[in-house]
Amino acid sequence: MANRSAVLVSFSSIAAAILFFAGTATAAPRVVASIAPVQSLIAGVMEGVATPDLIVHGAASPHSYSLRPSDARALSQAEIVFWIGPIYESFLVKPLKAAAGKAQIVALAEAPDVRTLPTREGGDWEGDHHRHSRNAGAEPADGHLFLDPDNARAIVRQAAEIISQRDPTNAEAYRANRAKVLARLDALDAELRAALMPV
């Protein structure tokens, strides 16, 4: 009987500990990504913990997108927002100013190791409908920076660092996911280099 009581006390202690830690565990931060390529990279970092919300869905263009009420709601609830920056999603400039102070806004064009190129002009790009904002006195930059595997890797590193700082409880998972995504990007980069070598 004494043994049975000890076992019950043990089970009770374990159950109480589980409930305590479950109650004190912090939820993953609410993360929003502007466009699908950015969301895909951030989702890789957050895999198994949470899924970032997406603003521009489907075939919609970030160059002519109008914010929907559901998008405004997602931004108002966000703790972290990842976007390329005003060079790409100019429609987000005003909404993100309104969200400033409530969410951490991360402009990936300014992330460490991200390299932007000037916009392409002439030839096939003459009359291109992809118009990007230009900063006063600055050369306009091409916002499609996520197409460069080096930039994609830099975005993943930046996202993992920022999300881990906000959610240290799951930092180990974010670091492990970062390594997996970087390995996939390395493999893709090597495959593309091999395919393009003859060219």
Query: Is it the case that residue 64 has pLDDT exceeding 80?
Result: yes
Out of 19-33, 77-91, 183-197, which region has the weakest mean confidence (pLDDT)? 19-33
**What's the rounded Cα separation, in Å, for the pair 82 and 157?**
13
**What's the rounded Cα separation, in Å, for the pair 143 and 140?**
9
Mutual angle of helices 36-46 and 149-166, in 10-degree steps: 50
Average pLDDT in the chain? 82
Note the pLDDT of residue 124: 56
Note the pLDDT of residue 126: 54
Note the pLDDT of residue 85: 94
90-113 pLDDT, tens digit per residue, is: 999 999 988 767 899 999 999 999
Query: Is it the case that residue 130 has pLDDT exceeding 80?
Result: no
The total of other beta-carbon atoms located within 10 Å of residue 173's CB is: 18
**What's the rounded Cα separation, in Å, for the pair 134 and 48?**
38
Query: Is it the case that residue 9 has pLDDT exceeding 50?
Result: no
Residue 20 pLDDT level (bands cut at 50, 70, 90): very low
Percent of the chain with pLDDT over 90: 60
Note the pLDDT of residue 59: 82
**What's the rounded Cα separation, in Å, for the pair 185 and 150?**
9
- Three state DSSP letters for the chain: CHHHHHHHHHHHHHHHHHHHHHHHCCCCCCEEECCHHHHHHHHHHHCCCCCCEECCCCCCCCCCCCCCHHHHHHHHHCCEEEECCCCCCHHHHHHHHHHECCEEEEEHHHCCCCCCCECCCCHHHCCCCCCCCCCCCCCCECCCHHHCHHHHHHHHHHHHHHHHHHCHHHHHHHHHHHHHHHHHHHHHHHHHHHHHCCC
Note the pLDDT of residue 139: 56
112-124 pLDDT, tens digit per residue, is: 999 988 877 665 5
Q: Indicate yes or no: pTM above 0.75.
A: yes
